[in-house]
Amino acid sequence: MAEQSAITTNTEITQTPNQEASHESTLFAEPLGHIGSLTVTNSLLASWVAVFILVIFFVSVGRKLKKVPRGVQNIFELLLEKALEMADSVTGSRKKSEKFLPISLALFLFIFVNNWLGLIPGMGTIGFNEITEGHKTFIPLLRGGTADINTTLALALVAVIGSHVMGVLVIGAWNYFNKFVNVKLLLEIPGKIRKDYTVVLVNPIKVFVGLVEVISEFAKVASLTFRLFGNIFAGEVLLASMMALFAYALPLPFMFLEMIVGIIQALIFAILALVYMTIAVEQHEH
Q: What is d(CA 272, CA 220) in angstroms, rounded to the nearest whole number?
A: 9
Residue 46 and residue 151: Cα distance in Å, rounded?
Answer: 11
Contact 192, 199 (CB under 8 A): yes
pLDDT at 8 over 90: no
Mean pLDDT for the stretch of residues 123-134: 64
pLDDT attached to residue 25: 61
Does 134 or 64 have the greater pLDDT score?
64
pLDDT for residue 1: 40
- Indicate the range of 16-25, 44-53, 160-169, 191-200 predicted with least confidence: 16-25
pLDDT tens-digit series, residues 11-41: 333 444 445 544 556 667 778 888 888 888 8
Strand 31-35 and strand 38-41: the pairing is: antiparallel
Whole-prediction pTM value? 0.78
Percent of the chain with pLDDT over 70: 74
Backbone angles phi, psi at 33, to 5 degrees: 175, -165
**Cβ within 8 Å of residue 260, ≥6 positions away:** none
Using H for helix, E for strand and C for coil, what is the string for the chain?
CHHHHCCCCCCCCCCCCCCCCECCCCCCCCEEEEECCEEEEHHHHHHHHHHHHHHHHHHHHHCCCCCCCCCHHHHHHHHHHHHHHHHHHHHCCHHHHHHHHHHHHHHHHHHHHHHHHCCCCCCCCCEEEEEECCEEEEEECCCCHHHCHHHHHHHHHHHHHHHHHHHHHHHCHHHHHCCCCCHHHHHHHHHHCCCCCCHHHHHHHHHHHHHHHHHHHHHHHHHHHHHHHHHHHHHHHHHHHHHHHCCCCCHHHHHHHHHHHHHHHHHHHHHHHHHHHHHHCCCCCC
pLDDT in tens, 217-267: 899 999 999 999 988 888 877 777 777 676 666 667 777 888 888 899 999
CA–CA separation, 27 and 230 (whole Å): 10
Contact 136, 16 (CB under 8 A): yes
Give the range among 59-63, 163-167, 239-243 with minimum mean pLDDT: 239-243
